[in-house]
Structure 1
Amino acid sequence: MTIANPAGLAAHAAEAIRNLNHATQSAKGELTYPGDAYKTVASLKLLTQRLPQSFDQLSDFLGTLAKTGAVTADYGAPDDHLAEARSALASAAIIAQTLTEFLDRAHIELSPLGYDATTEA
């Protein structure tokens, strides 16, 4: 299945995270070694590194819409809604960058860990 539109891709990413949430449950037993956590955190870090670009591009799109004057709103001024949405996206980009920094710290701390099979019962 090929998804070509932004909303579909975002929905697909959300579903992938939902599946990740299930896979990382202790009862599932899909995480066995420290390296499993290391690789998962690395991928999540990569995901959060890419989010600011999407947020910035969505904000740019909304800015372009604001310039056209072709946007309506069910209530309030469309420009006010667009400005608030753009502000929220800018904040989301900052938060994603902060999240990336924390995931990087976790990734660094996981890097020296190994699994001691001699402790198994």
Structure 2
Amino acid sequence: MSDNNPARHLSDAAEGIRTFNHVSGAVGQDWTYPGHAYSAVGNLSYLVGMLEQAVQQSTRPVMYTYEHGRVRIDNGGDADAKVAELVAARRDAEAAAAALTSAVQRMHNAVSPMGLDTTGIPEFEDDGDDE
């Protein structure tokens, strides 16, 4: 697929999410503190905020072909019925994407004021030499 193929970019985004899921499964050096979650949830918020538009635009080739009377359904199926099914499912997906966006934005707002309490952690204690 060329760089101008929209489906390729969705494939790349899916691969990025798969990689995130793989590397974020356990706490590690770069995945320990609330600030790490703030950054991740912020990026996730940005990503899901674009899903509704991506859902809408993902059906454009079908709609374009349908509007020109050129959609054919395997085994002689009814194009009008299948396109109506697609449009109804797209509306459901758009609503779900909007709800997901709202929920992830609330997550980002909730994690925003969080930080690490360094009390009693030796590597964060002030050694008193600054006084």
By the TM > 0.5 criterion, same fold?
A: yes
The aligned amino acid for 1:24 is S
Matches within 5 A, 1:38-117: 38-75=38-75, 76-117=77-118
Partner SS state of residue 26, structure 1:
coil
Partner SS state of residue 4, structure 2:
coil
In structure 2, C-alpha distance between the alignment counterparts of 1:103 and 1:119, rounded to whole Å:
33
Contact 2:62 2:71 in 1 (8 A): no
Residues 1:23 and 2:50 aligned together: no
CA RMSD across the alignment: 1.9
Q: Which stretches in structure 1 are left out of the alignment for 5+ residues? A: none
**Which residue of the partner structure matches residue 9 of structure 2?**
9
Structure 1 consecutive aligned stretches of length 4 or more whose deviation exceeds 4 Å: none
User: Structure 1 residues 31-40 or 56-65, which shifts more?
Assistant: 56-65
- Write out per-residue CA displacement over residues 59-84 of structure 1, whole angstroms, 9 at most, x where no aligned residue: 44433222211111114212211221
More helix as a share of residues = 1
User: Structure 1 residues 58-67 or 104-113, which shifts more?
Assistant: 58-67
Higher-Rg member (1/2)? 2
Q: Which stretches in structure 2 are left out of the alignment for 5+ residues? A: 123-131
The TM-score normalised by the length of structure 2 is 0.80
The CA deviation at 1:116 is: 2.1
Compared with structure 1, are the counterparts of its residues 28 and 18 closer, same or farther at alpha carbon in structure 2 (3 Å cutoff)? Answer: farther
The CA deviation at 1:91 is: 1.2
Number of corresponding residues: 120
- Write out per-residue CA displacement over residues 15-65 of structure 1, whole angstroms, 9 at most, x where no aligned residue: 000001012111555411101101111111111111111212234443322
